Amino acid sequence: MMLAPTPNLTGVVVGIPNGRAGVVATVNKMRDLVNQGKVDPQIRQAAQSIIFLQPEKDYYAEAEALFNFVRDTIRYTRDVHMVETLQTPAITLATRMGDCDDQSTLLAAMLESVGIPTRFVVAGYSGNDFEHVYLQAWCNHWIGMDATEPNEMGWEGENPKIIGYEDGFGGIASG
């Protein structure tokens, strides 16, 4: 039997508010993790290795290569039951597992480490205010990158209720 990679894990339990304030706090923490991860030599080296064979200055091809890597090699795994968990991009890369926020945070850190701007999209389906977060990257326009689904870059779920876009400056702009 093959076991998943087992890097040393550490964590901190923090309380977050309920409702929209909790969503904002979670997305702000995700942005903090991206900002730390995009300058992490391990994340930057991985991103550079993935885009190495793409045509020089073809930023769309670079973004697509990074998206395909996360979509195809990071296993979707739910959070601890009844607990919202976030992990660093390095942990997601090392364990090759994470939920939508972990995959989005890893992909954002990798994209930004090679100069491609990103933003988080907070969406709800089935009438819920918040069910999912995914990424958009700037490739001459904002393009959807939901690495948790087996779809091509650019696909975004059917009729999402966009709660807002994380603006990269500590807030969520209305959708």
Beta carbons of 164 and 173 less than 8 angstroms apart:
yes
- C-alpha 143/C-alpha 133 separation (Å) is 14
**Number of domains the chain contains:** 1
- Its pTM stands at 0.89
Side chain identity at 9, as an amino acid letter? Answer: L
Domain carrying residue 32: 20-174
pLDDT digits (tens, 9 = 90+) for 46-102: 999 999 999 999 999 999 999 999 999 999 999 988 888 999 999 999 999 999 999
pLDDT of residue 172 exceeding 70: no
| Domain annotation covers residue 90 | yes
Q: What is the CATH number of the domain that holds 117?
A: 3.10.620.30
| Domain annotation covers residue 165 | yes
Q: What's the mean pLDDT when you consider all of the chain?
A: 87
Backbone angles phi, psi at 172, to 5 degrees: -115, 120
| Domain annotation covers residue 12 | no
| Domain annotation covers residue 57 | yes
132 vs 3, 17, 112, 166, CA distance in Å? Answer: 28, 17, 21, 13
Band (22; pLDDT cuts 50, 70, 90): confident
| Domain annotation covers residue 69 | yes
| Domain annotation covers residue 6 | no
